Amino acid sequence: ELIKMRRKNQITQVKLFKEFDKIQEKIVNKSKEAESMGFSSDREFAVYKTLEYTLDDAKGITGQIFQGIEEELSITDWQVKGEVKKSMRKNIKDVLRGKVESNDIQSITVSLVDLIKRN
């Protein structure tokens, strides 16, 4: 969006660089926050941030999820392998059972696998 604005001369180059600095600062702060909380990857932090407002022990549950899918994440090109993603969903569901409403488990699980895939 900023680049489009610059091309249309809607923003000065100085303002563009200041906005880039703000974006970079957000990225650095996000990484520092994730690291200070003990997360070893952006994937883990993204899952935690997704769960933190709906589950009491989001940090612990995030850890359990990643322990459960550790093997699948080590498979090359797991993102395009249906059986691997199916196994991941099963493992995530196992962790979430009893912690979220049973009606919500499927949608949360699909969302989390998609989130992990994107990160």
Query: Cβ atoms within 10 A of the Cβ of 64, count?
Result: 17
Q: Where are the alpha helices (DSSP H) in 1-119?
A: 2-7, 13-36, 42-51, 58-68, 70-73, 82-96, 105-118
Token representation of residue 7: 């091309």
Token representation of residue 32: 């520092």
Q: What pLDDT score was predicted for residue 70?
A: 94
Query: Angle at CA 29, nearest 5°, toward 28 and 33?
Result: 120
Query: Angle at CA 94, nearest 5°, toward 105 and 79?
Result: 80
> What global pTM score does this model have?
0.71
Whether 99 shows a pLDDT value over 70: the answer reads yes
Query: Distance between CA atoms of 9 and 11, rounded to whole angstroms?
Result: 5
Query: Distance between CA atoms of 67 and 8, rounded to whole angstroms?
Result: 48
**Residue 44 C-beta-side C-alpha neighbours within 13 Å:** 23
Question: Over the chain, what is the mean pLDDT?
Answer: 88
Domain ranges within the chain, ordered by starting residue: 1-36, 38-118
Whether 28 shows a pLDDT value over 70: the answer reads no
- Average pLDDT (55-72) is 94
- pLDDT tens digits for 47-60? 998 998 888 899 99
